[in-house]
Amino acid sequence: MVKSGTIILNTAARFLMPLQLMFSVFLLLRGHDEPGGGFIAGLVAAGAFTLYLFAFGVSATKEVLRMVDPRDLIGAGLFFGMISVVPAWFMGQPFLTAQWWTIPVIDFKASTPLIFDIGVYLAVLGSVMGMVMALMEVDKDEP
Amino acid sequence: MQFAVLMGFVLAASSPLLNRWFGERTSLLLALFPAFLAGWFFSQAPLVLSDGPQLLEWSWVPSLGISLSFLLDGLSLLFGLLITVIGTCVLVYAGGYLKGHQDIARFHLALVAFMASMLGLVLADGLLTLFIFWELTSITSYLLIGFNHTDIEARKSARQGLFVTVAGGLALMAGLVLLGIASGSWSLSEILQSDDDLRQHALYAPMLICLLLGAFTKSAQFPFHFWLPNAMAAPTPVSAYLHSATMVKAGIYLLARLQPELGGTAMWVTILSVVGATTMLTGAFLAIHHTNIKKLLAYSTIMALGTLTMLLGIGSEYAMTAFVTFLLAHSMYKGALFMVAGILDHETGTKDVTAMGGLRSVMPVTAVIAFVAALSLAGVPPLFGFIGKELMLEAALGAERIQLLLVLFAFLAAILTIAVAAIIALRPFYGARHETPQTPHEAPLSMLIGPGLLAFGSLALGLAPAVLGADALLTSAATAVAGETLPVSLSLWYGVNVALIMSVVSLIFGFLLFKRWDSVRAQLARLAPVMRHGPEAGYEGLMNGVVRFSEWQTRLLQNGYMRNYILVMLVVLIALIGNSILLRHSPQLALSLDVRFHEVIVVGTMAMGALFATISRSRLGAVVSVGIMGFSIALIFILFSAPDLGITQLLVETMTVILLVLVLFRLPRFSNLSTNLERIRDGAVAATMGVLIFLLIITAWSIDQFESISTYMVENSAPLAYGRNIVNVILVDYRALDTLGEMFVLALAAIGVIAMLKLRHGETEGKATDSDKASVKEPYDG
């Protein structure tokens, strides 16, 4: 159903996708203090890939994603979500208690909530992309 | 320790990777895990034996009183040692048994995960922790029975084992919850130490019945015993480990654990004695029907499990001593015998004992191991099994209730068991050589170490129980089961008494039965028409009934028309919400009509979108107008300064429109539009729903029962959670557990969607299999 895009769409998608992805990472990292966060950032990233998908089709998008299957992204997301709950145990605190570390040189707040948020990001991105690509693939084979 | 058990799961998850790195040596490498834990148990033993139960606390959610604490007393120490020592033997053995098997990584994964689950089960202090590990053992057992998943019988057996044990697991959960309520504590150690007498509690009977259902299904007690012989579809190391030495004893463990608190009542004694004795005799009787060596052993395991239940039912001091001794003896010789059965199967290519013969000359070591282990099974001195059997007969003789029945059953079971032992130890190894599918050789060393160790352990423990620490260990275990100090002092010779005479007589009869086994089996074959109506037929009938019922109700409710689903859902919602709002609350309209101009515009846009969606004649048009509504809602969020919600709504709306367009574009134009009557009906339902939602919001607004929690969150977000974005802090910190759950829901939903799309995709390419064809075709409709 999706015909390969027009020149405007193709050109725009090529430039917009990296920008959108960067923006999504930006949203992810600032999420704890400003509007943003893993869920929103995941959706923005999914939007970026979807735009590319509309412009260039499934196989081209798969190439952009390299070997990463969206389903693996879901798994990776759940994995990050799970491991972020563990550190508190070693500190003798209740399960899921947030842990904070400051990385000195760049003055960056690393924390288990951030790891957790990365998990949310990947799970959302993987889920949406998995569904969109599955739909597009069905589409491709049927006239 | 908790860490070690959890590491077991990590190890299980990484075993495919280890397999890639270490190849055939992975089994040995993984065996280090139980071996290390066995060392730990041995090192803890003196402490437990001298100081009594140890509680290893590890707080998890202290605010809810949930902890991952382990209770290490005599009973869990005994079980822990069984699990780890036999686990080491089995892993080493499996390395030889499944050498070169393509799916060995999957085997290692499930087996090590089982090991960790089983350890968690016997060590758990919390009732809910125990339940979770209990279910994990059912699931890993399912995976292991169905290991040869291309074999339909294996799949069927795996499913049967899962259904029976998980159905029992549900009852167990109810029982544990009742126990928690009745005792007021969720910790086993507290329940066991409390002074309250649960036997007098009003909930005692329902609690006991639920707990017993859980224990009986897990431990294959009559009439739930049928799943265990079918579970023999699993590879032999699994049968040796899960289905004789450890998992099937989980139910027994639970009963033994709760016996000090719940045991001794008339109900307990009667049910456990009768069910145990019946299981014991049924198992022994059914065993001699079979020539398949694994089935023989499986039924003899059922016999042993019945014996253990019966001993717990009798409940005397003798019975408790017999219980712990028999438990240890059985795990050792039965583990060894199963591994011998695996060697025979592996080397000859058949499981039929009547097809084997004269293997003694080619497999001398195996023959010796089988002989020693079978002597222990038969209960011949000086093996450890003899002590176990002696004590068991003694306990049956000393039973206070239905003594005659128990003694008779025990005696008959003993005769049959001796016949079984003789069949396994003598039939394959002596007599004339038979042609077998494969030319047999002596098994490799890796397959002999495990059974050899267990068989000669049986011999050593029989000769010198006190020297090897068995007395001390069993004293500690018996004390935990009895709830009071119970010294155990084992010996081969208790003097000439009734039990000894019964032993000797049963040996003679048993051997005679072995000699005439072939003709006895021919006679038993005539019983086949009666045997077909056993409990397994009941299970099949029940399962078929469930399938028929679900087919009927699926056809009734799931007709594949989206509009019907939505109609049903809305009508039900209207009935429930309407009822609640109109009866319990009276919505009060107290509105200040202080609306701004731009708000009117946004709401107006929304209404227009909704209206157009209902009258649009194209799907795309409808989707877009629903999208307009969504974007207007995002605008409202932004207007009321909730940027996070606004952005989320905007993005979700975008993705929804994209997904809908992708789906809807493939459908034809509306082929049949609703009739006028249908429109009136749908319109009425929609309008009622709208009015109800309005009333709901008004009601929710006017009720102000609790102080809003948002003030707390606003105040504490930055100081406690180091974040200024409250929405995000709630998602990833305050309510992270909810979010984690939602992540799993999202992942499952996505996987479901992908699977369904790929399935339809496969169908269009003509790859449809029979099961696919049976699935409901979703009609395209307008």
Q: Which carries the bigger pLDDT value, residue B30 or residue B195?
A: B30
Same domain? For B353 and B474 the reply is yes
Which residue has better confidence, B271 or B264? B271
Q: What is the residue-wise DSSP string for B487-501? A: -----S---S-HHHH
Chain A nearest-CA distance from B139, in A, is 21
Give the closest of A33, A94, A116 to B61, CB-based: A94
Among B residues 361-420, those touching chain A with beta carbons less than 8 Å apart? none
Of A20-34, B662-676, B694-708, the range with the highest mean pLDDT is A20-34
Instruction: Give residue B376's pLDDT.
Output: 92
A115: closest chain B residue by CA: B732
Cβ atoms within 10 Å, residue B709: 10
pLDDT at B524: 83
CB contact under 8 A, A47 and B655: yes
Q: How far apart are CA B648 and CA B641, in angstroms?
A: 13
Comparing A26-35, B120-129, B198-207, the range with the smallest average pLDDT is: A26-35
User: In the prediction, which pLDDT does B219 show?
Assistant: 92
**Least trusted range by pLDDT, from B328-332, B578-582, B671-675:** B671-675
Q: Tell me, yes or no, whether B327 and B208 share the same domain.
A: no
Say if the Cβ atoms of B754 and A134 lie within 8 Å. Answer: yes
Which one has a higher pLDDT value, B274 or B733?
B274
In 3D space, the residue among B503, B506, B530, B516 whose CA is nearest the CA of residue B286 turns out to be B530
Alpha helices (H) in B66-203, listed in sequence order: 74-97, 104-123, 127-145, 152-183, 188-193
Mean local confidence (pLDDT), B146-158: 89
Domain co-membership, B389 together with B522 = yes
Question: Considering only residues 621 to 660 of chain B, which have any Cβ-Cβ distance to chain A shorter than 8 Å?
Answer: 643-644, 647-648, 651-652, 654-655, 658-659
- pLDDT at residue B778 tops 50: no
Per-residue model confidence as pLDDT tens digits over B507-547: 899 888 888 888 888 888 888 777 777 888 888 889 899 99
| Paired residues of B56 in beta bridges | B70
For chain B, what is the domain count? 3
Residue B125 has pLDDT above 80, yes or no: yes
Tell me whether residue A44 is in a domain: yes
CB crowding A86-112: b at 16 or more within 10 Å, else e: ebbbeeeebbbebbeeeeeeeeeeebb
- Cβ–Cβ contacts within 10 Å for residue B358, how many? 14
Write b or e for each residue in B544-558: b if 16 or more Cβ atoms lie within 10 A of its Cβ, otherwise e.
Answer: eeeeeeeeeeeeeee
Q: Among B500, B522, B557, give the residue marking a domain's end.
A: B557
Q: What angle do CA B509, B512, B513 make, to 5 degrees?
A: 85
What confidence score (pLDDT) does residue B592 get? 66
- pLDDT given at position B748: 92
Structure tokens, B502:
């019964």
Q: Looking at CA atoms only, how far is residue B239 from chain A in angstroms?
A: 32
Give me the residues of A, 93-132, that contact B with CB < 8 A. 94-96, 98, 100, 109, 111, 113, 116-117, 119-120, 123-124, 126-128, 130-132
Gap between the Cα atoms of A110 and A98, Å rounded: 11
As to burial, measured by CB atoms within 10 angstroms (0-12 exposed, 13-18 middle, 19+ buried), residue B779 is exposed
Residue percentage of chain B with pLDDT more than 70: 94
Final residue of a domain: which of B261, B291, B324? Answer: B261
Q: Contact A77/B663, CB-based, under 8 Å? A: no
Question: To the nearest whole angstrom, how far is the Cα of A37 from the nearest Cα of chain B?
Answer: 6
Check CB contact of B36 with chain A, cutoff 8 Å: no
The one-letter amino acid at B478 = A
Q: What is the pLDDT of residue B336?
A: 92
Q: What percent of chain B has pLDDT over 90?
A: 30
pLDDT at B705 over 70: no
Residue A98 to residue B665, Cβ atoms within 8 A:
no
* Helical packing angle, A38-56 and B643-664, nearest 10°: 30
* Structural domain contains residue B632: no
Domain co-membership, B285 together with B196 = no
pLDDT at B64 over 80: no
Any CB–CB contact under 8 A between A82 and chain B?
yes
Residue B761 has pLDDT above 80, yes or no: no
Asked if the C-beta of B10 comes within 8 angstroms of chain A's C-beta atoms, the answer is no
Q: Tell whether B292 is covered by a domain.
A: yes
Interface residue A81 vs chain B (CB under 8 A): yes
- Matching residue, tokens 């007589």: B505
Residue A141 placed within a domain = no
Beta strands in B300-448 (DSSP E): none
Whether B501 has a pLDDT exceeding 80, the answer reads yes
Most confident among A28-32, B643-647, B751-755 (mean pLDDT):
B751-755
User: Is the Cβ of A135 closer than 8 Å to some Cβ of chain B?
Assistant: yes
Task: Please report the pLDDT score of residue B685 as a whole number.
Answer: 92
Mean pLDDT of B363-389: 89
A106 pLDDT band, cuts 50/70/90, is low
Residue finishing a domain among B529, B557, B585: B557
Mean pLDDT in residue range B201-225: 91
Coil, strand or helix at B55 = strand
Give the structural domain span for A127: 7-136
Of B725, B732, B761, the CB nearest to A33: B725
Question: CA dist B148 to B110, B142, B152, B230, Å?
Answer: 13, 11, 9, 13
Chain B nearest C-alpha distance from A127 (Å): 5
For residue B728, the chain A residues in CB contact (below 8 A) are 31-32, 36-37, 117
Half-sphere exposure in the Cβ direction for A25 (13 Å, CA): 5
Task: Please list, in sequence order, all residues whose beta carbon lies within 8 angstroms of the beta carbon of residue B500, skipping any fewer than 6 positions away.
Answer: B390, B494
Q: Which of A2, A26, A34, A39 to mutate to test the interface with B (most CBs of B within 10 A)?
A: A39
B154 and B188 in a common domain: yes
Residue from B662, B745, B767 to probe the interface with A (highest A Cβ count within 10 Å)? B662
Question: How far does A138 lie from chain B, in Å, by closest CA?
Answer: 6
- More reliable by pLDDT, B671 or B485: B485
Nearest CB to A100: which of B654, B722, B737?
B722
A77 band by pLDDT with thresholds 50, 70 and 90:
very high
Mean pLDDT of B53-62: 79
* Nearest-CB residue to B722 (from A40, A47, A109): A109
* Residue of A23 and B194 predicted with greater confidence: A23
Domain span holding position B295: 262-557
B282 and B251 in one domain? no
Q: How far apart are CA A4 and CA A12, in angstroms?
A: 13
Note the pLDDT tens digit of each residue in B724-760: 777 788 887 778 888 889 999 999 999 998 888 877 6
* Chain B residues within an 8 Å CB radius of A96: 736-737
Identify whether the C-beta of residue B314 lies closer than 8 Å to the C-beta of residue B399.
Answer: yes
User: Rounded mean pLDDT of B270-290?
Assistant: 91
Report the C-alpha gap between B311 and B326 in whole angstroms: 10
How far is C-alpha B686 from the geometric centre of its chain's CA atoms?
45
Q: Are residues B312 and B257 in the same domain?
A: no
Looking at the complex, report in whole angstroms how far the Cα of residue A48 sits from the nearest Cα belonging to chain B: 11
Q: Which positions in chain A touch B61 (Cβ < 8 Å)? A: 94-95
Query: CA nearest A134 in B: which residue?
Result: B754
Q: Does B271 lie in the same domain as B228? A: no
Average pLDDT score, chain B: 85
Q: Which of B743, B744, B745 to mutate to test the interface with A (most CBs of A within 10 A)?
A: B743
CB contact under 8 Å between A141 and B765, yes or no, is: yes
Bin A58: left if φ > 0, else alpha if -120 < ψ < 50, else beta. alpha
* Chain A, window 10-29: residues with a beta carbon less than 8 angstroms from a chain B beta carbon: none
SS (H, E, C) B167-215: HHHHHHHHHHHHHHHHHCCCEHHHHHHCCCCHHHCCCHHHHHHHHHHHH
Neighbouring residues of B673: CB distance < 8 A, sequence distance ≥ 6? B617, B782
Nearest CA in chain B to A47: B655
Cross-chain CB nearest to B731 (options A37, A75, A126): A37
Cβ B60–A117 below 8 Å, yes or no?
A: no
On whether residue A2 sits in a domain, the answer given is: no
CB-based contact, A5 to chain B, within 8 Å: no
What is the pLDDT averaged over residues B234-259? 90
pLDDT of residue B780: 36
Contacts of B139 (CB under 8 A, 6+ apart): B162
Provide the domain count of chain A.
1
Name the band, by pLDDT with cuts 50, 70 and 90, for residue A141: low
Average of pLDDT values for B672-682?
Answer: 81
Cβ-defined contact of B743 to A120 (cutoff 8 Å): yes
Token pair of B667 as six digits = 């459908």
Are residues B457 and B333 part of one domain? yes
pTM of the model: 0.80
- Give the range with max mean pLDDT: A23-37, B328-342, B472-486, B496-510: B328-342
Average pLDDT over residues B73-79: 91
Asked if the model's pLDDT at residue B32 lies above 80, the reply is yes
Chain B positions in Cβ-Cβ contact with residue A13 (cut-off 8 Å): none
Q: What pLDDT is stored for residue A2 in this prediction? A: 47
Q: Please name the residues in contact with B510: beta carbons below 8 A apart, sequence gap of 6 or more.
A: B378, B414, B415, B416, B417, B418, B419, B421, B422
> Tens of pLDDT along B426-452?
888 888 887 778 888 888 888 899 999
Averaged pLDDT, B77-83: 92
Q: Does any domain span residue A143?
A: no
Judged by CB atoms closer than 8 Å, whether chains meet at A95 and B60 is answered as: yes
Q: Chain A partners of B746 at a C-beta cutoff of 8 Å?
A: 123-124, 127
Instruction: Identify whether the C-beta of residue A20 lies closer than 8 Å to the C-beta of residue A49.
Output: no
Whether B736 and A46 lie within 8 Å, measured CB to CB: no
Output phi, psi for B242, to 5 deg.
-75, -50
Q: Which pLDDT belongs to residue B762? A: 57
Task: Provide mean pLDDT across the span B147-164.
Answer: 90
Based on the domain organization, do B269 and B256 belong to the same domain? no
pLDDT for res B349: 85
* Shortest CA distance from B64: residue in chain A: A94
* Residue A131 in domain: yes
pLDDT of B781 above 70: no
Residue A143: what pLDDT? 41
The count of other CB atoms within 10 Å of the CB of residue B150 is 6
Which of B67, B638, B650, B728 to mutate to probe the A interface, most A CBs <10 Å? B728
